[in-house]
Amino acid sequence: MIVFNDVYKRFGAKEVLNGFSLEVRDGETMVIIGHSGSGKSVALKHVVGLLNPDAGDVQVDGAVVHDLDRDGLTALRSGIGFVFQFAALFDSMTVRENLELGLKRQRLDPRVIEERVHESLALVDLEGAEDKLPAELSGGMRKRVGLARAIALRPQYLLYDEPTTGLDPVTSAVINQLMVRTREKLGVTGIVVTHDMTSAYAVGDRIAMLYRGQVRQVGTVDQIRRTHDPIVRQFIEGRPEAATDLQTAPPGVER
């Protein structure tokens, strides 16, 4: 279980998270939606200790992430796969080397590593791309390699940062399918950060909207689809006045 407890985070004068609280239950896929720049990536990075909260805490299986020492953090991170927005592949390494890096770090047997690389690439339909360099791949393929690199570690949790952003609709659908397939095959608990509602509905069990540093509303896919909250409605329907209303809406509106 991943729990955000009243998390505050600011960069200089910019308050990004303002009492963000959310519970992600074991086995579910939680989708966090919100406008660009609303702090979705920042929230996600707290889970693996890439960022530490100014106040509040994030707990993974009961352990407070920012209290972990180096070894504790290493252990935590080896159980969490992170799929980055632009894949963040190591561009001096081949696809195979990208996948092997984390596995070698866990000191797995070379045969197991070989097998994992093969299986993980198969899971994202990229068999045969082992010796390619990231620069030789399309955006969609890079994202799939990023996903393969994360699942190669057989994590208990998978965190996706905008898995479909910037992809054409067909490639997006492929990625959505892969995310669903990954979850079925590996039984992972997931957090998916996105502003792509098609993707949110396709992969999520529950959806939470991040708005002004807090969770505006959280509910099942159906609850969110039928929401009467004006801010959430505007966002999921993609109506342009959302952007202007968001500046004028009174703060602290009831969820």
Partner 1 sequence: MSALGRGGQFLGDVGRSLRETDTWVSLTAVQMRRIGVQSLPIALFIAVFAGIVLALLSSYSFTGAVPLYFVGTFVGKAMMLELAPVLVGLALAGRVGANIAAELGTMRVTEQVDALETLAFNPNAYLVVPRALAATAMFPVVVALATGLGIVAGWFTAINLLDLSSPDFVKGLRLFYQFKDVWFGLLKAMSFGFVIAMIGCYKGLNTRGGAEGVGRETTAAVVMGAEMILVLDAFWAVVLL
> What does the binding site for ligand ADP look like in residue numbers (CB under 6 A)?
11, 14, 16, 34, 36-42
Residue 60 and residue 91 in contact, taking contact as beta carbons nearer than 8 Å? no
Nearer to ligand ADP, 156 or 165 (CB): 165
Residue 211 touches which of ligand ADP, partner 1, Mg ion, none (CB < 5 to 8 A by kind)? none
For every residue of 161-210, DSSP letters joined together read ESTTTTS-HHHHHHHHHHHHHHHHHH--EEEEEES-HHHHHHH-SEEEEE
φ, ψ at 157 (rounded to 5°): -125, 145
CA dist 140 and 169 (Å) reads 11
Nearer to Mg ion, 159 or 174 (CB): 159
> How are beta strands 2-11 and 55-60 bridged, if at all?
antiparallel
CA dist 254 and 116 (Å) reads 47
Beta bridge partners of 11: 14
Instruction: Please tell me whether residue 189 binds Mg ion under the rule CB under 5 A.
Output: no
Q: Which residues make up the interface to partner 1 (CB under 8 A)? A: 45, 48, 50, 70, 74, 77-78, 80-82, 84-86, 88-91, 101-102, 105-106, 149, 153
CB of 86 to ligand ADP, least distance (A): 12
User: What is the per-residue binding string for Mg ion in 119-158, x denoting contact by CB under 5 A?
Assistant: ----------------------------------------
Instruction: Please tell me whether residue 194 binds Mg ion under the rule CB under 5 A.
Output: no
Binding site for Mg ion (CB under 5 A): 41
